[in-house]
Homo-oligomer: A and B are copies of this chain.
Amino acid sequence: MEVTKEWREHFKQLRAFDEAISLLYWDMRTQMPEQSAPLRAETIGYLSTEAFKRQTSESFASLLERMADEKDLSDVEARSLEIAKTQYERNAKIPHNEYQAYVTLVSEAETAWEKAKEQNDWDMFAPYLKQIIEFQQKFAEYFGYEKHPYDALLYDFEPGMTVELLDELFASLRDELVPLIQQLPKESLSLDWSMPADVQETICHDWMNVVAYDLSRGRLDATVHPFEITINRRDVRITTKYDEADFRNALFGTMHEAGHATYEQQIDPMLDELGLGGGASMGIHESQSLFFENFIGRSEAFLRRVYPKLQSLHPAYAAIDFDTFYRGVNEAKPSLIRIEADELTYSLHIIIRYELEKALIQGTLSVDELPAAWNEKYKEYLGLDVPSNAKGVLQDVHWAGGSFGYFPSYALGLIYAAQLTETLKSALPEFETLIAEGEIEPVKAWLKENVHQYGKRLTPNELIQQVTGQAISVQPLVRYLTKKYQTVAK
């Protein structure tokens, strides 16, 4: 077989494994009888191992070499080779037995973290975290880096991103956000956000219609922890959770997942057979979910369009005027829990975590010092006293799962989203009118043409540069938030 054909065959097989594994996971979270859990975990384990073997086998190493020797690779084939080679080399650098020990540790750590959070007991989790950080430090050395060990870990989430750049971005973002937050009104609106689950479900489907998430190539189901999952390019599913105490969670959560899903649906399907399907990075992916959730979903134009229907389905809101609803949806105030934070204060939660995990990996902060350091930063950046580790340093699963370098993606998503939205609005000056009229297709087409179709063909940096003509910058986000919170707090 020709080398490039064999190359594509490799990725087509991997895609098939991915489809099976994704479906096994989706089913586990939405359909499967609970008793099946241990066998399902075993099945996912076997298939994941099988897929991993294909990416690390000697025969794939030989294919990589033959591919590297090929003349006349197309641009996209060359990009495919570049990514696969880097990934292969990263995998090959970690000794097999260390990786096995690490996988076991992480699985135990997640269980320990769950209990530790439940019982507000930091000491239950700390020993695991220490070992995880030791592994991560070793892995960073194996992978190699130029300036900072944390750079080596960022690759898995945001290829090309560095501590040097993040320090600069996050410092200026923090300096701009803190005064904005200080100007927020102190009093709360205290609206009643409760709504029956079935009404939420109807409204979610209505909103999906308005943003034209293509349900003929997807599904919307209920789960405990909402997620988007790509079964294949023509089957991108999302889930949501109908929280009867606060309908904002389901409505905006669904918009968020629909943003991820629309990205996945609009990636050029041919890229799958080169391993270039999927988003450019976690940050770019998050920019698309946040674009749908915040830049469309929480915008005045969109909300004005959907509010009358919401009122008719939910009579408790019949007497609440649009301005109150709009301000309620966009209410911002410092809070302890990241996943409950509003779009104005959210980045500060991320910056805190970034600064802490960077120091942990560098070795300038110890695990024993971590809870106190966490609490200090929440006081300094958000003005809050952290009442317990459960509501502080133990709140997120990421560190227990060994995901060091993941947190920055969330804030990068906001930064990218604001940059892309500025460009989008200059390309489509009628953007707000389109949203107000429920004419989302030109927006989706612009995103497909300029962002989505590329998948992993461009690095995040290349993509942002190509679309906006500029490097990554926090200014568009600052402009957006400044303008918005002047209106909301008016």
Which of B27, B50, B232 makes the CB contact (< 8 A) with A39?
A: B232
Residues of B within 8 A of A232 (CB): 36, 39-40, 43
Docked complex: A193-232 residues within 8 A CB-CB of B: 215-219, 231-232
A187 touches B (CB below 8 Å): no
A34 touches B (CB below 8 Å): yes
Determine if B33 and A215 form an interchain contact, defined as CB atoms under 8 angstroms apart.
yes
User: A230-265 CB contact bits vs B (8 Å, 1 = yes)?
Assistant: 011111000000000000000000000000000000
User: A12-48 CB contact bits vs B (8 Å, 1 = yes)?
Assistant: 1101110111011001000111111001101101110
Asked whether A217 and B24 contact (CB < 8 A) given A13-B46, A46-B13, A232-B43, the answer is: no
Which of B19, B20, B46, B219 makes the CB contact (< 8 A) with A12?
A: B46
Asked whether A16 and B46 contact (CB < 8 A) given A36-B232, A36-B235, A235-B36, the answer is: yes
Oligomer: number of copies:
2
Determine if A234 and B33 form an interchain contact, defined as CB atoms under 8 angstroms apart.
yes
- In the assembled complex, the CB of A237 is this many whole angstroms from the nearest CB of chain B, namely 9
Q: How long is the Cα–Cα vector from A216 to B33 in the complex, in angstroms?
A: 6
Residues of B within 8 A of A35 (CB): 216-217, 234-235
Determine if B234 and A16 form an interchain contact, defined as CB atoms under 8 angstroms apart.
no
Residues of B within 8 A of A16 (CB): 42-43, 45-47
Determine if A233 and B24 form an interchain contact, defined as CB atoms under 8 angstroms apart.
no
Residues of B within 8 A of A219 (CB): 31, 33
Q: How long is the Cα–Cα vector from A32 to B42 in the complex, in angstroms?
A: 24
Residues of B within 8 A of A23 (CB): 20, 23-24, 27
- In the assembled complex, the CB of A450 is this many whole angstroms from the nearest CB of chain B, namely 24
User: A154-194 CB contact bits vs B (8 Å, 1 = yes)?
Assistant: 00000000000000000000000000000000000000000
Determine if A20 and B33 form an interchain contact, defined as CB atoms under 8 angstroms apart.
no
Determine if B24 and A39 form an interchain contact, defined as CB atoms under 8 angstroms apart.
no
Determine if B24 and A20 form an interchain contact, defined as CB atoms under 8 angstroms apart.
yes
Residues of B within 8 A of A13 (CB): 46
Residues of B within 8 A of A34 (CB): 216
Give A233's nearest chain B residue, CB to CB. B39
Residues of B within 8 A of A43 (CB): 15-16, 19-20, 232
Most buried by B among A17, A35, A233: A35
Q: How long is the Cα–Cα vector from A173 to B233 in the complex, in angstroms?
A: 54
Give A34's nearest chain B residue, CB to CB. B216
User: A134-153 CB contact bits vs B (8 Å, 1 = yes)?
Assistant: 00000000000000000000
Residues of B within 8 A of A33 (CB): 215-219, 234-235
Residues of B within 8 A of A21 (CB): 20
Asked whether A19 and B39 contact (CB < 8 A) given A12-B46, A13-B46, A46-B12, the answer is: yes
- In the assembled complex, the CB of A216 is this many whole angstroms from the nearest CB of chain B, namely 6
Q: How long is the Cα–Cα vector from A23 to B33 in the complex, in angstroms?
A: 13
Q: How long is the Cα–Cα vector from A150 to B20 in the complex, in angstroms?
A: 37
Give A9's nearest chain B residue, CB to CB. B46
Residues of B within 8 A of A231 (CB): 32, 36
Residues of B within 8 A of A24 (CB): 19-20, 23
- In the assembled complex, the CB of A17 is this many whole angstroms from the nearest CB of chain B, namely 8
Give A14's nearest chain B residue, CB to CB. B46
Q: How long is the Cα–Cα vector from A21 to B20 in the complex, in angstroms?
A: 8
Q: How long is the Cα–Cα vector from A13 to B31 in the complex, in angstroms?
A: 23
Q: How long is the Cα–Cα vector from A343 to B147 in the complex, in angstroms?
A: 79
User: A109-138 CB contact bits vs B (8 Å, 1 = yes)?
Assistant: 000000000000000000000000000000
Binding site for B on A (CB under 8 A): 12-13, 15-17, 19-21, 23-24, 27, 31-36, 39-40, 42-43, 45-47, 50, 215-219, 231-235
Enumerate the 4 nearest inter-chain pairs by beta-carbon distance, A residue then B residue, closest first. Answer: A16-B46, A36-B235, A20-B20, A39-B232
25 contacts between A and B (CB under 8 A): A12-B42, A15-B43, A16-B42, A16-B43, A16-B45, A16-B47, A19-B24, A19-B43, A20-B23, A20-B43, A20-B47, A23-B23, A23-B24, A33-B215, A33-B216, A33-B218, A33-B219, A33-B234, A35-B234, A36-B217, A36-B231, A39-B232, A39-B233, A40-B235, A50-B50
